[in-house]
Amino acid sequence: MPGRFEVHALSAGRNVSLLAEQIREFHPALVSVAQQPAADKLKRLLGGATKTQIEVGDTGLRLVATAGEPDVVVAATVGVAALEAVYAAVQSGARIALANKETLVAAGHLIRAAAQLSGAVILPVDSEHNAIHQCLRAGTPREVRRLILTASGGPFRGWSARQLLSVTPEAALKHPTWSMGQRITIDSATLMNKGFEVIEACHLFGLPQERVDVVVHPQSLVHSLVEFVDGSVLAQLGPADMQFPIQYALTYPQRSPNQRAPLDLAAAGQLTFEAPDLANFPCLRLAREALQAGGAAGAVLNAADEVAVEAFCSGQIPFTAIPAVVEEVLQQSGTLPAGKMEEIIDADQNARQQARAVLSKVPA
């Protein structure tokens, strides 16, 4: 949609060759990269032939999220790296197209409070929440009975506890329906991603977790559903292609035509649904417990999970130890204050240390 949008600022981690291409195509006023060596490399790649300002680190990310009073900020950074930048963008009152669920998992109540003060509208890019956002347009908040998040079930759906013991990182990185980054793909395999999404839904839509259910739907074509008080249920369907929710968040409240391949229900054949296996995939329960515990428990949940996922990917711990490590860290942390962003960042850092200590005791 080149006629419709102008790219004011971009951020990247280390992939400076792609960023250099994007700078040549979109001529943003400002870009930011994770660290100074990446900025130096980017400058070399551009060869001085650019007016784009190059910034670095947390400060750079915050500038990208707020400078030039953007109409829309697309927050798609993985993990809690963008926590403060997203918070600043919400405080500025911009529309946020939010793909970064960790922000809401770790600091949902702060983000919500800031959005209420500034008037910032948060539009979910996460496919499930994007679906719910679309379905909610059919009724008023009082008419909603519950939200139903769909889950693909991941590559190990139906596996026994014994089978799960032998899961390798390579197998866990093969998601059946979506193509995504490493962390979220492993989180999908453990169902922690769905746990995060329950927390995300509660914060986005202001509902208690008892009114957010999860159903496994392996085809990933029904992206989520809303049940209204009269028992009517609305679902949103579409191809498993993130460009659809991204476009919705960018063009809302309008809809624009596109050239993407449409949903072919006859080709899909069957849509099936089943209950999640909470015994073999305890992460969903852990996420609900963290939400119930309140305070900084969401930040602890996310941080411990990130460390455990890295340890699994590097072969340090078995797949089934991921929830065990997270549960141990959650128990050790107890209830932590989360009235300020600094407290959440402290909780995140401490949980990482605790998780590393717990990891060192896990038999490989």
Of 225 and 345, which CB lies nearer to Mg ion in the complex structure?
225
- In the complex, least distance from residue 148 CB atom to Mg ion, rounded to whole angstroms: 14
For residue 242, the minimal CB distance to Mg ion (Å) is: 9
Cβ distance to Mg ion smaller for residue 93 or 176: 176
CB closer to Mg ion out of 126 and 328: 126
Q: Does residue 291 contact residue 298 with C-beta atoms inside 8 Å? A: yes
Least Å distance, CB 245 to Mg ion, is 9
Span of 84-92, 122-130, 265-273, 321-329 interacting with Mg ion by CB under 5 A: 122-130
Our CB check for Mg ion shows the closer of 55 and 126 to be 126
Of 42-50, 126-134, 201-209, 288-296: span binding Mg ion (CB under 5 A): 126-134
Residue nearest to Mg ion (CB): 126
Structure letter (DSSP) for residue 227: E
Closer residue to Mg ion, CB minimum distance, 84 or 128: 128
Alpha-helix residue ranges (DSSP H) falling in 137-242? 161-164, 169-172, 182-190, 192-205
- Size, binding site for Mg ion by CB under 5 A: 3
Task: Kindly tell me which of 197 and 327 has the beta carbon lying closer to Mg ion.
Answer: 197
Q: Is 179 exposed, middle or buried (0-12, 13-18, 19+ CB in 10 A)?
A: exposed
| CA 291 distance to own-chain centroid | 16
Q: For Mg ion, which stretch binds (CB under 5 A), given 64-72, 128-136, 230-238, 266-274?
A: 128-136
* Residue span binding Mg ion (CB under 5 A) among the ranges 5-13, 16-24, 125-133, 235-243: 125-133
Closest CA to 283 of 302, 296, 267, 265: 302
Which two three-digit tokens encode residue 33?
A: 């990269």
Q: How far is the CA of 359 from the CAs of 3, 86, 182, 322, 354, in angstroms?
A: 51, 30, 20, 9, 9
d(CA 363, CA 318): 9
Q: Which of 55, 84, 102, 126 binds Mg ion (CB under 5 A)?
A: 126
Tell me how far, at minimum, the Cβ of 352 lies from Mg ion, in Å. 24
* CB 319 within 8 Å of CB 165: yes
The two beta strands, 144-151 and 222-228, are antiparallel
Least CB distance to Mg ion at residue 227 (A): 19
Interface ranges with Mg ion (CB under 5 A): 126-128
